[in-house]
């Protein structure tokens, strides 16, 4: 029997009564935007709070990685390709967009394989693909490497900043007490499987639910989490079974690890997390842009006054930032959380009314 959305809301309110404060972290930028778009916080009981975490791939890309992208994109005879969200991420006084305005050849792509076609059409130039994202997008980058290797296209390389979600969550949530439960990312889980989040109850001792992205799906997952909290049960429940299986997309995972392997990675706001990144395997290292180009390896400071790092850790919400909606807006972003379509600040701003 499928209950109506009013039944789910009433169920949350009934189970939450007298429960005490429960803070649930959603670990997906799409969840954050859906939660704000549907006005879900406004209908939850006052003791149930939703906070965003490190689920926006643009936002967690470290400043030094952005600096490396700028160094490469600013070189002669380079065609730099990336997703649109990366264009306006500030790094000091520059961004990929400012380089584009100055005349550098920076092109937007909607798929890594678009970069391969650009490389084939421009054999006399170096083409670089800025690879970002979690396990959802990493298999697509692996497919690019596979195609470039098979087709012997040697004028393409990858600036690889891919990251893996479970390791970051373990690092962020181990030993803490401010987050009481986890809303697990449906997109990542569709690739690595619901079982990949078994560590949440087993190692972090927190209840969790894998959720879809519509209002009903999110509220149903919140209801399950509140039920687990109410009866002191610790489990990870797959509330998105139409898309997410226990083991995920094994072919995609196999492709990803055929061309990449775990490596330490720097996350904005979280620092270096062991084995939370993906680097190219040795036999494909010739496609690594960091080995192909000379870069300065700068480590620019975070913008002063920007609390994006604290938002990614769940310590603050965007509306607690003094710059939010004032000198930091989508038109004049001060940090990546306001730039990306999956950023918390952008979601809070877009749906602030």
State the Cα–Cα distance between residues 44 and 218, nearest whole angstrom.
12
Residue 284 in domain: yes
Domain co-membership, 69 together with 204: no
State the Cα–Cα distance between residues 137 and 112, nearest whole angstrom.
9
Residue 224 neighbours by CB distance under 10 Å: 24
Domain co-membership, 217 together with 252: no
Domain co-membership, 260 together with 344: no
CATH code of the domain in which 264 resides: 3.40.50.11740
State the Cα–Cα distance between residues 78 and 127, nearest whole angstrom.
6
**Which pLDDT does position 2 carry in this prediction?**
67
Domain co-membership, 160 together with 269: yes
**Is pLDDT at 305 greater than 90 in this prediction?**
no
**Which pLDDT does position 1 carry in this prediction?**
54
For residue 84, the enclosing domain spans 58-164+248-292
Domain co-membership, 143 together with 77: yes
The three-state secondary structure class of 262 is strand
Percent of the chain predicted with pLDDT > 70: 99
Segment 251-275, tens digit of pLDDT: 999 999 999 999 999 999 899 999 9
Residue 243 in domain: no
DSSP string, 98-140: HHHHTT-EEEE-SSHHHHHHHHHH-TTSEEEEEE--STTTHHH
- Number of domains within the chain: 3
Average pLDDT, the chain: 94
Domain co-membership, 155 together with 64: yes
**Which pLDDT does position 301 carry in this prediction?**
75
Domain co-membership, 112 together with 64: yes
More confident residue, 3 or 332: 332
CATH code of the domain in which 209 resides: 3.40.50.11750
Segment 92-149, tens digit of pLDDT: 889 999 999 999 999 999 999 999 999 999 999 999 999 999 999 999 999 999 999 9
Domain co-membership, 24 together with 13: yes
Residue 300 neighbours by CB distance under 10 Å: 16
**Is pLDDT at 317 greater than 80 in this prediction?**
yes
Domain co-membership, 269 together with 153: yes
**Which pLDDT does position 260 carry in this prediction?**
98
**Which pLDDT does position 316 carry in this prediction?**
92
């Amino acid at each position: 029997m499928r209950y109506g959305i009013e039944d789910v809301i009433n169920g949350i309110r009934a189970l939450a009564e007298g429960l005490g404060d429960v803070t649930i972290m959603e670990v997906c930028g799409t969840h954050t935007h859906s939660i704000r778009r549907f006005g879900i916080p406004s209908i939850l009981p006052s003791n149930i709070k939703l906070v965003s975490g490190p689920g926006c791939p643009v936002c967690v890309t470290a400043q030094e990685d952005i600096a490396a992208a700028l160094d490469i994109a600013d070189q002669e005879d380079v065609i730099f390709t990336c997703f649109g969200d990366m264009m306006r991420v500030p790094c000091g006084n520059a961004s990929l967009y400012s380089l584009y305005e100055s005349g550098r050849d920076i092109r937007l792509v909607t798929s890594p394989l678009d970069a391969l076609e650009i490389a084939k059409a421009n054999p006399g130039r170096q083409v670089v693909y800025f690879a970002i994202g979690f396990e959802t997008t990493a298999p697509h980058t692996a497919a690019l490497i596979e195609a470039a290797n098979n087709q012997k296209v040697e004028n393409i390389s990858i600036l690889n900043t891919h990251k893996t979600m479970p390791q970051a969550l373990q690092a962020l949530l181990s030993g803490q007490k401010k987050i009481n439960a986890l809303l697990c990312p449906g997109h990542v889980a569709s690739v690595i499987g619901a079982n990949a989040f078994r560590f949440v109850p087993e190692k972090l001792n927190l209840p969790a639910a894998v959720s879809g992205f519509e209002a009903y799906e999110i509220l149903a997952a919140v209801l399950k989490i509140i039920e687990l909290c109410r009866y002191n049960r610790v489990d990870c429940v797959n509330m998105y079974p139409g898309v997410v299986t226990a083991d995920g997309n094994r072919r995609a995972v196999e492709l990803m690890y055929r061309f990449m392997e775990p490596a330490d990675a720097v996350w904005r706001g979280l620092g270096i997390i062991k084995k939370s990144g993906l680097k190219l395997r040795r036999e494909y290292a010739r496609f690594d842009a960091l080995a192909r180009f000379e870069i300065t390896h700068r480590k620019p400071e975070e913008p002063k006054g920007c609390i994006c790092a604290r938002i990614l850790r769940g310590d603050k919400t965007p509306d607690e930032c003094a710059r939010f909606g004032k000198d930091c807006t989508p038109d004049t972003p001060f940090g990546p959380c306001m730039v990306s379509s999956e950023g918390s600040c952008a979601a809070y701003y877009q749906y602030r009314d």
